Amino acid sequence: MSLLDTPYAWGGRGPATGFDCSGLVSHVYREAAGMPVKGSSADLGRQSRPIDRAKLQPGDLVFFNTLGAHHSHVGVYVGNNKFVHASNPRTGVRMDLLSNRYYAQRFEGAQSLLD
C-alpha cells in the first residue's frame, strides 16, 4: 500500500522511476515474497496458473484486456474485491474494485504465482 500514488512510467520497475503494471507486480513479488518475477503482463499470464475467481487470495494476479490484447493489463489482488495496479500516466499506482464497470467489462481472469 506504500506504493499507492507512485507515478506511472512505461517500462518502470521501481518506486524511484515509477511503474508500469508488470513492473509493479515484479517489484511487489520481489519485495514481499523474495520471488524474482519478470516480463510483460502477457508474460506473467503465461507464468502463472489460472484459479477460480471465487478463490482469489491477496497476492494473486488479476488480468484485463485494456488494449485489445489478451492479458494487456495486470494487477495484484489485495482482498475485499480490490486490486492494486499501475493504471496509467494520469493516475499512477492506485487501488480499484474488480466490480468497477471499466475493469469488470475487461476482466480476463485470476491467476496465481503462489503455491
C-alpha cell at 13: 520497475
C-alpha cell at 97: 474494485
Query: Active-site positions?
Result: 21, 73, 85
Q: DSSP readout, 44-73?
A: HHHHSEEE-GGG--TT-EEEE-SSSSTT-E
Is residue 91 within 8 A of residue 6, CB to CB? The reply is no
Is residue 6 within 8 A of residue 16, CB to CB? The reply is no
